[in-house]
Amino acid sequence: MLLEGQVALITGAGRGGKGIGRSIALRLAAEGAKIVIADFVPEAADAVAREVMDKGGEALAVYGSVSVPEDAENMVQAAIDRFGRIDILVNNAGITRDNLLVRMSEDEWDMVLDTNLKGVFNCTKAVAKVMMRQRSGKIVNMASVMGIIGNAGQANYSASKGGVIALTKTTAKELGSRGVNVNAVAPGFIQTVMTEEMPEDARRGIAEQIPLKRLGTPEDVAEVVLFLASSAASYITGQVIAIDGGMVM
């Protein structure tokens, strides 16, 4: 197994149904990783942790908001206390509060930037100290194609994900000499609970604009995260991989 004995902390992984974080947790667990599920909704984190354990894996659920530095530090400490190390951090936690720029409130801007960008900063800072001491580690950040091309009605979200891309590259330069790889994935339109709420004709219209003619799945994202978290990506850092069926191309 690719991740036998390694420990992976995944933020925002407590989503039920077709959440990307959940799929990443299950995929990494299937390759032997011990999984720490972090989420601000305890019941959601517990549910995914149980799912991992029901499939024969080891899992720990931790609770808190990545936007709060102390919560991020507590998540990392809980993982250390339970498993003794952290080998992989997947900064997956994210929210949307869509609105046109001229109608967007300061709260809508702040909430998205606090979770999507500051949250990555908080968790990366907390885990970097551990990985630097270990002289090894893999950090995978959840960006978005909207952070590359922008999207009307998502000034806050696009800005946060563009910030994640810049933070990924900077962190990769700072931590590379200590054996820590930092990369990002940039999903396009993925089949999640959010996209399933769209009208069917809208989903078909989006799919028609994608060269591969389909929306992605959470499992599509999880496979790339697994690659970046594994030794197969040991000479890859500071990169952003679009998982978008060719949409941005």
| Enzyme catalytic residues | 157
Contacts of 202-211 spanning 24+ positions with Cβ under 8 A: 209/247, 210/244, 210/245, 210/246, 210/247, 211/245, 211/246, 211/247, 211/249
Token pair for 247? 């949409």
223 with 190: CB under 8 angstroms? no
Dihedral angle of Cα 119, 125, 131, 132, to the nearest 10 degrees: 160
CA 225, CA 208: separation in Å to the nearest integer?
A: 26
